[in-house]
């Protein structure tokens, strides 16, 4: 399909859009979180305030410093837009660039005492510890269920765990973020391929990749799913594809997953402790792999997957895409009509996938006609209700060879 014939990008310039609101309200608030959550020297605080002012004014986006990793690619993408102000960019690129600007300002990559200091570490650590405590409280509901019922419960917990997004705490629906699936919530899965996913995965496969999203409940339930798939013999190897730098506040990096596994092992709850030990053993045996690639924290959508990433993804039997940003990138950050078949909207993605996200932005595809009309009306009538995370999708596309 020719890119010129595709739907338009979701742009930050669109009045009334969540993208527009994100730039003017959410970005400045995230900068406040960074300042309040760290003890940066005054010159760094001043630079963060300058970035905040630049964004609030809708001004021209300042390029990344020349010594910032991949700055040439980032800055070339920035000037590729006719209007390279904060209110003139494709939304996904705007978000990704915003987080790189923060890393640039806080000197994340520069030699010195601030090098490698995750500006969101305190927030993520608190979320991981709190969500593990919640897991201990609900874990008995996972035990002693027949395998197929347990799979459904875990899969839906993986979906609802995606509500736990530190950049969206003001907008997430006021339900528990612990992720435990409540079957009464299944009506809020507006596109539900649970049965297809269960049937496919239970046949047995060599490798499943997970394009992870957030630390905390989101990736805790990714780990629970990985444990289930490996322990049941459904999958030989599960590989997590994680971010290589602090990104979107709560996106999981390998260190966040290792911390999570370590904390699971330290729990007084014997069953949760045993889960942590199994996961640690999977890491040692190579049945669970933690991997990164710079593309996953780049400013590109999956329309522009490089050849080496395509070849790597094609080693897996299935890619599980978690979260809103990965879903948007899969759709090319484009305004597909909600009733567009997911096979068409995600046609650039090179491998079979299972996409799970709670809905936190306007972009959506793959809905049946009645549900598409319902969601279009909700987006028109109450944009904040639409992006609240109350609703989610579990969508699957299998390549013909699968």
Q: Are strands 392-397 and 235-242 parallel, antiparallel or unpaired?
A: unpaired
Whether residue 163 is predicted with pLDDT greater than 90 in this model: the reply is no
Tokens of 51: 């970035």
pLDDT, residue 182, reads 59
pTM: 0.95
Mean pLDDT (the chain) is 93
User: Where do the CATH 1.20.930.60 domains begin and end in the chain?
Assistant: 3-105
Average the pLDDT over 96-124 and give the result. 97
Cα dihedral 316→322→328→330 (10° resolution): 10
User: Where do the CATH 3.40.50.10880 domains begin and end in the chain?
Assistant: 145-397
Q: Are strands 288-292 and 353-358 parallel, antiparallel or unpaired?
A: unpaired
CA-to-CA distance for 172 and 194, rounded, in angstroms?
Answer: 23
145-397, CATH topology level? Rossmann fold (3.40.50)
CATH class of 3-105: mainly alpha
Tokens of 385: 């209700």
Per-residue pLDDT of 244-284, as tens digits, reads 999 999 999 999 999 999 999 999 999 999 999 999 999 99
Whether residue 169 is predicted with pLDDT greater than 70 in this model: the reply is no
In sequence order, what are the residues at sequence separation of 6 or more whose Cβ sits closer than 8 angstroms to the Cβ of residue 158? 179, 218, 221, 222, 224, 225, 322, 356
Per-residue pLDDT of 69-81, as tens digits, reads 999 999 999 999 9
């Amino acid at each position: 399909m020719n890119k010129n014939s595709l739907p338009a990008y979701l742009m930050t310039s669109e009045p009334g859009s969540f993208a527009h609101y994100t730039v003017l309200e959410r970005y400045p608030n995230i900068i406040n979180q960074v300042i309040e959550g760290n003890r940066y020297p005054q010159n760094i605080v001043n630079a963060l305030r300058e970035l905040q002012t630049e964004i609030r004014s809708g001004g021209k986006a300042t390029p990344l410093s020349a010594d910032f990793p991949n700055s040439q690619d980032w800055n070339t993408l920035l000037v590729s837009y006719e209007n390279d102000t904060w209110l003139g960019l494709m939304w996904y690129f705007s978000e990704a660039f915003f987080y790189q600007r923060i890393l640039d300002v806080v000197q994340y990559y520069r030699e010195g005492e601030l090098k490698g200091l995750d500006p969101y570490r305190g927030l993520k650590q608190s979320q991981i510890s709190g969500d593990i405590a919640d897991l201990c409280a609900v874990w008995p509901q996972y035990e002693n269920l027949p395998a197929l019922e347990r799979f459904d419960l875990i899969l839906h917990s993986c979906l609802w765990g995606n509500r736990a997004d530190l950049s969206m705490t003001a907008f997430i629906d006021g339900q528990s973020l612990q992720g435990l699936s409540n079957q009464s919530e299944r009506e809020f899965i507006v596109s539900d391929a649970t049965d297809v996913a269960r049937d496919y995965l239970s046949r047995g496969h060599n490798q499943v990749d997970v394009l992870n999203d957030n630390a905390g409940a989101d990736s805790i339930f990714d780990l629970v799913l990985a444990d289930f798939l490996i322990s049941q013999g459904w999958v030989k190897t599960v590989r997590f594809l994680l971010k290589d730098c602090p990104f979107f506040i709560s996106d999981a990096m390998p260190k966040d997953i290792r911390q999570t596994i370590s904390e699971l092992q330290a729990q007084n709850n014997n069953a949760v402790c045993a889960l942590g030990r199994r996961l640690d053993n999977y890491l040692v045996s190579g049945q669970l792999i933690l991997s990164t690639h710079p593309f996953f924290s780049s400013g590109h959508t999956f329309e522009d997957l490089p050849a080496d990433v395509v070849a790597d993804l094609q080693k897996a039997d299935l890619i599980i895409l978690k979260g809103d940003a990965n879903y948007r990138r899969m759709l090319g950050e484009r305004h597909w009509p909600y009733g567009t078949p997911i096979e068409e909207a995600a046609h650039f993605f090179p491998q079979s996938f299972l996409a799970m996200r709670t809905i936190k932005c306007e972009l959506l595809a793959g809905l049946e006609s009645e549900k598409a009309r319902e969601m279009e009306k909700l987006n028109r009538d109450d944009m904040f209700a639409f992006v609240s995370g109350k609703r989610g999708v579990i969508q699957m596309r299998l390549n013909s060879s699968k």
